[in-house]
Chain A
Amino acid sequence: MEPSDAALLARTRRAYEQGRLRAALWRAAPLVPVVAWTWSWCRYPALAALCGAALVALTVAFRWRGQIWGRAVLPGLAAGLAPLVLPWLMRGASEVCVGEMCCSLCLLGCVGGGSLAGVLVGRRAAALDEGRGTFLAAAGALALLAGAPACAFAGVIGLAGLLIGFAGGTAPVLLARAPA
């Protein structure tokens, strides 16, 4: 390869990375109004801002990195809608009691939304031949970050419910599809 070709190779490589970053930023832009909307009603605005910033940054990073990471973005964000919307809809509802045990509907929304997100992400991950762990980590991080501001209505226990629900939704799907 001639020196001029080597310089062109470096220039085109830079252009390729720039182009990927630009495309990633462009595709993550619609998240900004969603994050602002979440921040406007979250019980802990600082937490919503932190989760929102992390969500946008990870979306850009995964899109820029591409391959399994990039392919995990849409399923992760779509799965994150469940734990974002369910607790938000149930935030004003009172407690539901079974016998002497009472639990807030919002907390149930967190666990239910987390489980649904876990099942959705787990099913997509289980269908992959390789890179399941990467896909699960990337899509799971996005889904949890999307749902966290809504689950904060129920406090720390809501966030814990989201995590437990997600783990509970993912595990059976992955175990069922795991190679013998």
Chain B
Amino acid sequence: MPHPDHDLQGLLSRLADGDRAAFPPAFTLLWPVTRAFARSFLRDEGGAEDAAQQALVRVFLRAAEFDASRPALPWVLGVVANECRTLRRKAQRRREGPLEEADARPDPGASPEESATGRDLERAALAALDGLPAPDVEAILAHIGAAGRPDLPPATFRKRLERALKRLRRAWSERHGTL
């Protein structure tokens, strides 16, 4: 059972209310989560660190707007994902540069169609996650390595993950009619 002071929902609600004492624990809790999520999102160690820092700044910039009736973790990850996407687009534009400077070498990475499909899938997955309860999101993110594993016995965590995946599948099929 986490201490209420260390609960993200409680900390963000206190920050939204203007309780400055919640700032240091919220920073300590959010920084590793943001960094891990940016790493898994961008898959680029150097860029991920910058993106995570900017994303964290963005999260605190918008902390006053946080609606305490909504789950905190999906809100935070939504802000971080948006920031990561923006930074990735900027980096992509910088890499592309003006047409006359472009050389004829083919891009060794994914094709534009593959990138677009990937982006669509990410957006759809985030939208489906957004509707889930906070413990479900926490379990799924821990499972894919984007956040720390909650302090639970393995069997409990397995059951929670199973339930969370079931709800995610249901949310996905309600939105997209597949799976």
| Contacts A5-B31, A8-B31, A19-B65 given; does A13 touch B19 at CB 8 Å | no
Question: Which stretch of A65-73, A131-139, A152-160, A166-174 is in the interface?
Answer: A65-73
Contact A19 B60 (CB under 8 A): yes
| Contacts A8-B53, A11-B57, A12-B27 given; does A67 touch B65 at CB 8 Å | no
* B18 at the binding interface (Cβ < 8 Å): yes
Contact B23 A13 (CB under 8 A): yes
Expressed in whole angstroms, the Cα–Cα distance for A69 and B18 within the complex equals 9
Expressed in whole angstroms, the Cα–Cα distance for A9 and B25 within the complex equals 11
Contact A20 B62 (CB under 8 A): no
Chain B residues with CB under 8 A of A12: 27, 56-57, 59-60
Contact A20 B53 (CB under 8 A): no
Contact B57 A15 (CB under 8 A): yes
* A32 at the binding interface (Cβ < 8 Å): no
Chain B residues with CB under 8 A of A20: 18, 63-64
Expressed in whole angstroms, the Cα–Cα distance for A87 and B76 within the complex equals 48
Chain B residues with CB under 8 A of A69: 18
* A16 at the binding interface (Cβ < 8 Å): yes
Chain B residues with CB under 8 A of A9: 24, 27
| Contacts A8-B31, A8-B53, A12-B27 given; does A67 touch B60 at CB 8 Å | no
Chain A residues with CB under 8 A of B59: 12
* B179 at the binding interface (Cβ < 8 Å): no
Chain A residues with CB under 8 A of B61: 15-16, 18-19, 22
Q: Kindly state the interface size class of chain B when it binds its partner.
A: 10 to 19
Contact with A along B92-130 (1 / 0, CB 8 A): 000000000000000000000000000000000000000
* B15 at the binding interface (Cβ < 8 Å): yes
What secondary structure prevails in chain A residues at the interface with B?
helix
- B25 → chain A closest CB, angstroms: 12
* B17 at the binding interface (Cβ < 8 Å): yes
- A74 → chain B closest CB, angstroms: 14
Chain A residues with CB under 8 A of B24: 9
Q: Kindly state the interface size class of chain A when it binds its partner.
A: 20 to 34
* A23 at the binding interface (Cβ < 8 Å): yes
Chain B residues with CB under 8 A of A11: 53, 57
Contact with A along B29-68 (1 / 0, CB 8 A): 0010000000000000000000001001111111111000
Contact B56 A19 (CB under 8 A): no
Expressed in whole angstroms, the Cα–Cα distance for A38 and B148 within the complex equals 55
Contact residues of A with B, CB < 8 Å?
5, 8-9, 11-13, 15-16, 18-20, 22-24, 64-67, 69-71
What are 27 pairs between A and B in contact, CB < 8 Å? A8-B31, A8-B57, A9-B24, A11-B53, A11-B57, A12-B59, A13-B23, A15-B57, A15-B60, A15-B61, A16-B23, A16-B60, A16-B61, A16-B63, A19-B60, A19-B64, A20-B64, A22-B61, A23-B64, A23-B65, A24-B64, A65-B18, A66-B17, A66-B18, A67-B19, A69-B18, A70-B17
